[in-house]
C-alpha cells in the first residue's frame, strides 16, 4: 500500500478521508446528541435527486446536489415543524421521492447511462482534484457555521424549548443545522455514497461517547476517529479487493463492536 502513494488517486483518497472525517466529527456529534439520525438519513437519500439532475444537465452531479440537498433539508424541516404532517412521514416522503426523482432523471439522461454504484455506495479512489476542492470548500463552510453558531447549536441540541424561551431563534438555527447536514452528506457521497452516509455520521460519535463527556472533546475525538477509520478502510479494501465504501463502513462497525468491550467513561448511550 505504501508503494501506491506515488499515485495521485491514492493521495486524493487519503485527503478525502481526512476532509470527510473532519465534517463527520463536527456535524455527526450534534446529529447523535439531538437524536435526528433518521432526519439525516432522509436528507442524505433525498440528495440523490440532485445527483440525477446533474447527469441530466451534463454537469458535475456534486455541484447540483448542493442546492438540491439544502432545499430538501429545509423542506423536511419545514414540513415536519410547520404542518400537520408527522416528522417520520415527512422524512419518508422526501427520502423516497428524492431517490425516485434521481433514478428518473438519470433514466432521462441521453446516451450512456452512468454507473450509480459509485454514488450509492461510494468510490473514494475515484476522487479527483476538483472533488477535493469542493470538499475543502464545504468543510470550510461547515467550520465557519459552527464557529458562528456553536452556542445556538448546543442550546437547541439539549433543550429547544428553553432555548426558545431565552430568545434563541430555534427554527432558524434548526434550518441552518439541517443545511449543514446536507452539506456533510454531499461531502461524503464520493467516500461512502448516499446509502452508507449515516455510518460515518454516527458510528465515530457513538464510539467517542464511551470515552469523553465534553461536547467539544467529543467532536474532536469523533473527527479523529472518522478520519483514522476511513483511512484504515482503504488498505483493507485494497488488500481484500473489496469495494472501498462498504469496506470503510465495516471497519467502522468492527471498531464500534470493539469499543463496547472497553469501560465506558463518557456520555450515556
pLDDT tens figures, 11-51: 888 899 899 888 888 899 888 888 888 888 888 888 999 99
Cα separation, 194 vs 186, whole angstroms: 8
Position 224 scores a pLDDT of 93
User: What kind and span of H or E run contains 93?
Assistant: helix 87-108
pLDDT greater than 80 at residue 79: yes
233 within domain boundaries: yes
On the question of pLDDT at 267 being above 60, the answer is no
* 264 domain-assigned: no
- Quick check: is 134 in a domain? yes
Higher pLDDT, 116 or 258: 258
Count structural domains, the chain. 1
Confidence check: pLDDT of 268 > 60? no
> Per the domain annotation, does 227 fall within a domain?
yes
171: pLDDT strictly greater than 60: yes
Statement: residue 133 has pLDDT above 70: yes
Residue 216's pLDDT band (cuts 50, 70, 90)? confident
User: For cell 483514522, what's the residue?
Assistant: 228
Tell whether 267 is covered by a domain. no
Average pLDDT, the chain: 86
Upper half-sphere CA count for residue 22 (Cβ side, 13 Å)? 18
- Kindly report the pTM of this predicted structure: 0.85
Counting residues of the chain whose pLDDT is more than 70, the rounded percentage is 95
Indicate whether 131 belongs to any domain.
yes
Query: H or E stretch including 219?
Result: helix 215-240
Identify the CA nearest to 211 among candidates 148, 264, 250.
Answer: 264
Q: Which three cell numbers stand for residue 69?
A: 440537498
**CA–CA distance, 153 with 145 (Å, rounded to integer):** 10
Note down the domain range covering 32: 2-259
What is the per-residue pLDDT across 92-115, written as a single tens digit (0 to 9) for each?
A: 899 999 999 998 998 898 877 677
In a domain, 228, yes or no: yes
- Which three-class secondary structure string do you get for the chain? CHHHHHCHHHHHHHHHHHHHHHHHHHHHHHHHHCCCHHHHHHHHHHCHHHHHHHHHHCCCHHHHHHHHHHHHHHHHHHHHHHCCCCHHHHHHHHHHHHHHHHHHHHHHCCCCCCCCHHHHHCCHHHCCHHHHHHHHHHHHHHHHHHHHHHHHHHHHHHCHHHHHHCCCCHHHHHHHHHHHHHHHHHHHHHHHCCCCHHHHHHHHHHHHCCCCCCHHHHHHHHHHHHHHHHHHHHHHHHHHCCCHHHHHHHHHHHHHHHHCCCCCCCCCC
Q: How many helices (H) and strands (E) does the chain have?
A: 12, 0
268 in any annotated domain: no
Residue 154: give its domain's CATH number.
1.10.3470.10
Give me the pLDDT at residue 1, please.
54
Amino acid at each position: 500500500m505504501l508503494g501506491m502513494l506515488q499515485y495521485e488517486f491514492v493521495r486524493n483518497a487519503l485527503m478525502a478521508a481526512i476532509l470527510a472525517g473532519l465534517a463527520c466529527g463536527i456535524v455527526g456529534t450534534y446529529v447523535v446528541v439531538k437524536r435526528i439520525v433518521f432526519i439525516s438519513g432522509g436528507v442524505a437519500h433525498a440528495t440523490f435527486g440532485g445527483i440525477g439532475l446533474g447527469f441530466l444537465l451534463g454537469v458535475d452531479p456534486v455541484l447540483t446536489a448542493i442546492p438540491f440537498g439544502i432545499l430538501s433539508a429545509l423542506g423536511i424541516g419545514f414540513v415536519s415543524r410547520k404542518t400537520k404532517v408527522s416528522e417520520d412521514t415527512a422524512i419518508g416522503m422526501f427520502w423516497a421521492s428524492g431517490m425516485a426523482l434521481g433514478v428518473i432523471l438519470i433514466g432521462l439522461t441521453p446516451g450512456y447511462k452512468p454507473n450509480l454504484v459509485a454514488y450509492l455506495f461510494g468510490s473514494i479512489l475515484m476522487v479527483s482534484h476538483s472533488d477535493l476542492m469542493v470538499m475543502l470548500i464545504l468543510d470550510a463552510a461547515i467550520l465557519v457555521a459552527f464557529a458562528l453558531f456553536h452556542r445556538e447549536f448546543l442550546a437547541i441540541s439539549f433543550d429547544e424549548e428553553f432555548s426558545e424561551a431565552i430568545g434563541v431563534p430555534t427554527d432558524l438555527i434548526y434550518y441552518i443545522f439541517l443545511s449543514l447536514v446536507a452539506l456533510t452528506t454531499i461531502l461524503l457521497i464520493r467516500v461512502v455514497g448516499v446509502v452508507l452516509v449515516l455510518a460515518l455520521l454516527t458510528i465515530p460519535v457513538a464510539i467517542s461517547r464511551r470515552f469523553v463527556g465534553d461536547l467539544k472533546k467529543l467532536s474532536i475525538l469523533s473527527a479523529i476517529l472518522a478520519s483514522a477509520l476511513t483511512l484504515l478502510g482503504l488498505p483493507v479494501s485494497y488488500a481484500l479487493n473489496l469495494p472501498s465504501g462498504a469496506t470503510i463502513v465495516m471497519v467502522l462497525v468492527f471498531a464500534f463492536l470493539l469499543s463496547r468491550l472497553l469501560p465506558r467513561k463518557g456520555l450515556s448511550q
